[in-house]
Every structure is written in C-alpha cells, then in structure tokens.
Amino acid sequence: MSWWKRLRLTLEMIKFEHSIFALPFALTATLLAFREDGFATAAFAWKLLWIVIAMVGARSAAMTFNRLLDEDIDSRNPRTRSRHLPTGLLSRGFAWGFTAVSSFVLLLAARMLNPLCFKLAPIALLVLFLYSFTKRFTAFSHLVLGFALGIAPAAAWIAVRGSLDPRILWLTAAVTLWTAGFDVIYGCQDYDFDGREGLFSLPRRFGIGGALLIARGLHLAMLTCLVMLAVQFHIGLVSWIGVALVALLLAYEHSLVKPNDLSRVDAAFFTMNGYVSMLFFLFWSADIFLIRRGG
C-alpha cells in the first residue's frame, strides 16, 4: 500500500472532517483576541494560519492515539469492529508514526506562535491523550473529552495575546459542556457493550434516559456560558442571534433522540453539532470582524 493511500485511510479513520467541531470556536476566540487590538496588527493572517495548523495537529494526534489505545475494544464492539486498525487496513506502526508527526506539528505551530504556547503545548497533548484512558476508570470521561476540546479557545487567545484573559474561559466552559453533552448522547449507543466490557460512561451509570437528561442539563449550562461570554465581551445583536440559533439547534438535536429510539444519534451527533459550531462562528465573526469593524 502506498504512503499516500495509508495517509488517506488514516484521515478517514480519525474522521478528519470532524475537525470542524472545535475549530470554529477556536477561531472565534482568535477574532475576539484580535479585536482587542482593533485588527491593527499585520500578523493576523500569520497567526491565524499557525492556530489552524496547531488545531489540526492536536486533533489528529489525539484521535489516532485513541484509535491505537482502543483497538482491542473496537474489535469487540459491533459498532466499531470495521474500523481501520481492527480490520488491518492500517498498521499500528503507521498509526504510531502519524501520531508522532501530528504531535510534532502541534509543537512546531506552538513554537511559531509564542513562547507561552510552546511551554503549554506538551500539557495540552497530555490532556488530549489522557482522555483515551478515562473510560476505563470514570463515568465522567465525557467531561474530560469536553475539556480536551474546550482548551482550544483559551489556547487560541494565548496564541494571539501571549497571555490568558479570564473572560475567554467562558468559551472554554461552553465548549467543554457542549462536547460532554453530545458525547453523552453518542455514548448511549454503547450502553450494552460498555456493561459487558466493564467500561465507564454516564449512560451506563444512570441509564439511557438519565444520561439524556444529563446531556440536556449540560447543554443548558453551555448556553448560560455563551450568554456570559456575550455579556463579558459586549458583543452586538448579530452575535446574540448566533447564540439563539445555537439554542434552537440544540433543542432540535435533543428532539432526535429518545431513550427507546437511538436510530437518529448519528444525525444528532455529526450533522447538528457541525451546524452548531459553524453557525456560531459565522454569526460571531460577522459581528466581530465585519459589522463592528465597519461600524
């Protein structure tokens, strides 16, 4: 198999297209940080490029490591046994190499951004890798995954400003809660399997019905964090419309799944959450960069 074909299969394995989940929130934090300088700096495009590269490297390393660590579990799960590593489509050696290269890309991008980013990048990698172990010992692994994505907006802010502003932590909290909520929904599919394997999850601990209620609570808390973010940064009407649309999309997402009917989990997980992140970014970037700059 050619190197390019293995790379393509690796990108399929880690669902590279789902980088869209956290990236728009990181880009929103980037625009908020640059707004503090009135977009006067000439480094805007350069910083933006390296932030995107860092995000892609971080997620690629984390997802590939997760697939490597879970290969045996995935091979026993009817839902995941057709993944690339269990079926032998990809070798573990190539996957480990891809993890190492992706980690290096993150470290390189962090080095190009500023010294603080470079110092914090190894800690970020540890958080990302830690998630893959958590379902073996805690039902709150969903929140660890949420935090792994939630650090992206704070990291983007540091990349631009060279320091952390506590206000951006409202966006970190929002992404953490949002991700944990939709991961709880997604985890409901493995309720029976997790029980047989002795794995930990909120659906396994509280039942599918209880887990779906928890997911709703997490998403309500996420919306509260977005409201606080909007208040802290004094955003305009367009951004408020973006928050309202996120609320409507989340409400629709929860209408798709019921304790006795999980047939539309994929639509709730992949489609709706992609819309959530993209619409949030589009409305907030319009408010931050176009409308408010022009005004």
**Is-contact 292 236, C-beta < 8 A?**
yes
**Is-contact 239 212, C-beta < 8 A?**
no
Residue 236 and residue 267: Cα distance in Å, rounded?
31
Q: Which pLDDT score, from 0 to 100, does residue 39 have?
A: 67
> Mean of the per-residue pLDDT values for the chain?
92
Q: Which residues contact residue 245 at a Cβ distance below 8 angstroms, ignoring those fewer than 6 apart?
A: 279, 280, 283
Q: Which residues contact residue 78 at a Cβ distance below 8 angstroms, ignoring those fewer than 6 apart?
A: 193
Q: Which residues contact residue 188 at a Cβ distance below 8 angstroms, ignoring those fewer than 6 apart?
A: 203, 208, 211, 212, 257, 262, 265
pLDDT for 153 beyond 80:
yes
Residue 175 and residue 152: Cα distance in Å, rounded?
9
Q: Which pLDDT score, from 0 to 100, does residue 1 have?
A: 63
Q: In which residue are the tokens 């110092």 written?
A: 119
Q: Which pLDDT score, from 0 to 100, does residue 112 have?
A: 96
Average pLDDT over residues 137-144: 97
How do the domains of the chain map onto residue ranges? 3-294
pLDDT for 36 beyond 90:
no
Identify the band that residue 294 occupies on the pLDDT scale cut at 50, 70 and 90. very low
Structure tokens at 209: 């019905």
Structure tokens at 272: 């709706």
Residue 110 and residue 121: Cα distance in Å, rounded?
6
| DSSP line for 220-259 | HHHHHHHHHHHHHHT--HHHHHHHHHHHHHHHHHHHT-BT
Least confident among 41-55, 101-115, 144-158: 41-55
The model carries a pTM of 0.93
In the chain the first and final C-alpha atoms are separated, in Å, by: 55
Interval 220-272: pLDDT, tens: 999 999 999 999 999 999 999 999 999 999 999 999 999 999 998 887 777 88
Percent pLDDT > 90 in the chain is: 81
Q: Which residues contact residue 95 at a Cβ distance below 8 angstroms, ignoring those fewer than 6 apart?
A: 10, 13, 64, 67, 68, 85
Q: Which pLDDT score, from 0 to 100, does residue 290 have?
A: 73
Interval 179-224: pLDDT, tens: 999 999 999 999 999 999 999 999 999 999 999 999 999 999 999 9
- Assigned CATH class of 3-294: mainly alpha
Q: Is 28 exposed, middle or buried (0-12, 13-18, 19+ CB in 10 A)?
A: buried
Identify the band that residue 41 occupies on the pLDDT scale cut at 50, 70 and 90. low
Residue 220 and residue 180: Cα distance in Å, rounded?
12
Residue 131 and residue 20: Cα distance in Å, rounded?
19
Average pLDDT over residues 31-57: 84
| More confident site: 116 or 268 | 116
Q: Which residues contact residue 294 at a Cβ distance below 8 angstroms, ignoring those fewer than 6 apart?
A: none
| Phi, psi (deg, nearest 5) at residue 40 | -85, -20
Closest CA to 184 of 145, 158, 227: 145
pLDDT for 37 beyond 90:
no
Q: Which pLDDT score, from 0 to 100, does residue 42 have?
A: 65
Q: How many CB atoms lie within 10 A of CB 146?
A: 27
